[in-house]
Structure 1
Amino acid sequence: MKAVSIKIRKIYRNASISQKLFLAFSVMIAIPAIVVSFLFIRVQESQLYKEAMSAGNGHVSRMSEQLRSRMGILENASSTALTQKSFIDFIHSNMLGDGLRLVKFRQNQFEQMHNIIQSNEMISELSFYVDNPNVHEIWPEIYHYDKFWPQQYWTRLRDEGGSSYQLFAFKDGEHTLSYYRLVRLQGQGGKRPTIMEIRSEHRVFFGGMLEETGGDFFSVVMDGRDPGRFVYNPQHKFSLQAGDEMGDILGGIHRQLDVLQGQEPIKVYVGDHAYYALYRYIAPLNAFVVDIASHQDLMKGPRNWYYLVVAVTLLVLLLMLLLVSHTTRRIFRRMDRVLISMRKVRRGQLDAKIDLGLAAGDTGDEIDEMAISYNNMLDEIKQLMTQVVDKQLIAKNAQLHSLHSQINSHFLYNALESIRMLAEVRREPAIADALVSLGSLMRYSMMWRNDTVALSEELANIQSYVGFINFMEGGSIALLSDIPNELTRYAIPKMCMQPIVENAVHHGAPRGGSVTIEISARVENDSMLVIRIRDDGNGVDPDILAGLQAVLEGESDTPIVASKNGLGLENVHKRLQLHYGRGSGLRIDSEQGAYTCVTISMPWANANLGGW
């Protein structure tokens, strides 16, 4: 035994790498894949069975509810018919005595009863069987009780609460369902109670429930008393395939039906086929609603998968035998270049990229893709290092700006408040309002409690700014906003809109003239918040516009050149791109002498928003 083990290890050691890989793939991939595939197919069979039973349970429950609903329609129709008291009284009276009275009955009470029947498409006939020797049988709705069979059925109706259903009517009931109800009248003496019968054809009563000709389940309504009486669609695929075995299938299922159970499926065997049945008992009808499915049909798909798995596995083994030997040599030769580059990067040489040797437009195989991703990763590392440095500089500048702004801030606020009160005392409301706007602007600019603010706060600051500018320069600047209420609470970076409005005020409005600034906000594609600030001012010179657009389309890691107020268009654009990526930032469109529109785009997800 030890000699055999040594010989096997020696053969394995002397085998080529391609042979070892083929053996490893066969043992570790192909064979387990077959086992896992077969286990997976078994799991799928189990899951398919559970899903089929769940679907069948749902379908049979819906059929049960539909049957009960349709039975309720018949019961309501019978109750409506019994409300015609004059009709009931007349058929219990002497109908042969007065011809004029009979004519009036035909024109009034009988017509009303006939309308009740005609108004319900489910009712094919409605008849009264009256124990009255003077009844006039000139209409199919009124008969003497002697025409009813079985004669003593009224006692069973009495014992069952006054009404009962028959899946197959007593008279001509092969394709008809009947609902029987006692008509109880006072003072009948020894006469038998009147019975009302409502007949409904099976094709109408079960219409839409048993008409499907395909599907996995075959629906049947079985009589609870007689195992040989069923209602089903003979054109269904299941019925056509069962052929002469249909009676054996239905009989075997009927023997296992239980009025107290109904949630668990029944399984019966007929010949070499197995069948599942799900059912519900309909007590008033004394019938079972049954859905039947063939086990072979349910599992037909998974059974075919077994042959497919075997064929695919053999094909894969053959391909591995042919390709492993060829590919291993190329793989290891190209992997060496990757390892050499990794060692250089580990020593700090971030420019040690892998020479791919691919022509323009070529993508290569998985190793080439790995090398491309590796080169891209080196580029991203260098870019991220640059962005981290820029962000740290921005954070320091913002911190210094905030500290500088807070110096003597309380002194300035108190001074402004004192001047405002003096203006109020001297009855100068315009000056007082301007001071309120100025104080709001200073407070908003100096107090940086958080890096983001609600869109409504930014908009309020812009309104204060426009009001103050109108007072200072005597201009007529109109500010309009179209922002849905659900967006006003959305967090946006502070001071990302005010510099754009300031730019529109200083450069868009003609000297001594007016300008209208419109601010709107929308969510596009459920992913981007888009804010548009548009003015109808002078517009931008085409050359200047081209320069601005070129700057805004540059890389986000290019140096930030601050504008006069330190938060210009380019500054806002660069900050947005640094924090939210290349998809965010500003876009400017303008037509000289007509309009200027600046569009702000940022992610529509508060959780992903950072601040300045």
Structure 2
Amino acid sequence: MLRILQSLHNSSFKAKLLFSYIILITIPLTISSILVYKQFTMYLSENTSTMISQRLNQETNNINQALTSIENIGFQLSADTFLTAYLNERHQPFNNDSYITMTNKISPMLKWFKNTNHKISKINIITLNESISEIDTFVHSSKFEYEAWFMEVKKNTSLGLPYWEKYHEQRAYRKVDTLNPATSPVFSLFCIINPVYKSSSSYLELEVNPRLLFDSLNISPVGKSGYLAVVDSAGNIISGKNTPLLKSLMKKDDLNRLLKGSNGEYAYTYEGSDYFIKSQEINRLGVHIISVVSTAEIEELFDSSKRNYIVTISVTFILLLILAYYLGYFMTKKIKKLSNAFVSFQKGNFNTRIEVNGADELDKLSFDFNIMACNIQELINKVYKAEIAQKKSELSALQSQIKPHFIFNTLESLKMTAELHDEEEISDGLTALGNLIRQNIHTGNHLINVECELENLADYIKIQNLIRNNTIKAEFNIQEEICQAAILNLVLQPLVENCIIHGFPSNQKFLEISICGKLADDSIIFTIRDNGKGIEDQQLQKLNRNLENSLNDNSTSTGTGIGLMNVNRRIKLYFGDEYGIGIESSYNEGTAITVKIPFSL
């Protein structure tokens, strides 16, 4: 492995690039191919399982419809008033009228109902009325009173509901039946006749032939050679091919566990072959329909798709390899040109240039090399000029440090002159002006604390009062908790300046300004309120629209809102769009400006 890495390290860039392409192509293609193949096979498996489930559902529905039809016959017979009256009537032995009623009315009616559904093999009526002779379909119930099957019949039909007895051998009810014992198994539907009078209750039994009930199961195979069968939890094969596979399957504990549920799937191996078993329960009969399909037959459906998929992936891989080879060739060709140009340039041939014939990154790199070569030639000639320019820049920086110093010295001289002439207001104004200038020159950071901002604002109001003959009354109401909080430099001063310039009342001598600051949740709320002339509604609406769109509008604001827009835009850009300023105003009554910023120390 180390030898391979060493040889790769010493190989050409073209070989490394081609190897990288192969790795980058192989890994994603292999992973994606495996994932797609798994999804594809899963889809085909689910599709096959769905097809089998649909067949089972279809057969189950057909059988349930047949059972419902038989139950309807049972309901009609058990509710027949003529039959009910006959069963409740006390009959004299050898009574001719009773015999005529039996032979001419009861028996033909029962025979007609039996013939309407060929799945019914026999009709029995088990009655408590022992005055009715045990001929034809009638059987006395006293003989079976304590037998388990008859007790189940009485229990499950007591509420008038039909009861399906599970798969069992036909019973010989009369002595004549014992001479020719019935051995064919049946399902029996029991319905109670006249459940109101328990003493004369009778039970209708419709025996159903399983072979006729399930005759439609194997009309067509499942897939190519799969088949359906009906089994019960006791391992009896009720209908279907009695194959050695099915007999072997009935002995497996796993299948018995499978048949305990309403439906399920089971993988089974018999004599080296795999089979897919799927079952669905017929609740009323307590049996399962199972489908038996060879796994090899299912996989045959996938073989063609597998081959096509493998061929497609292989062809795609080969085409990608060819594409990677030619792409690597063209890229290394341009890189080789660049390498030769750099070697020539290093040797002092500053006239070296590369011919550019494209617009990709390597062509752009070649173009940049040509520009670099030209620039280097120019820079060589300009080194001396650059050194002189640097010295001039340093000199200008030194002079810029002297200018503020000169301004502060001048202001200090004026202040001392004012104090000598007892002009305290002028002295205080010059001090405030010096503080403002110093703050704006020396504050390099965007953020200062609230206390510093308020001191600047007080200095500004002091200067304005000096200009306006003390006609501005300012009141500060600031919570102590926010004094050390961070705020952008020059946020409050432009807003107060806006109040003074645009809000000075024409009918009053003084302008009253209230500056309040408080902590609200995680934000600081400043409110600057004046008693000035206010703003007209139309102008106020325009200002609020401009404030809302201040981040989207990059045009230079003009007019009375320039300070407001500047402050609002700075706040939103620095802290986020949920912060900023808002304006409320009533014309000739005053204006309130609210500033919201996050609380942070």
In the superposition, the TM-score normalised over structure 1's length comes to 0.41
| Greater C-alpha Rg | 2
In the superposition, the TM-score normalised over structure 2's length comes to 0.42
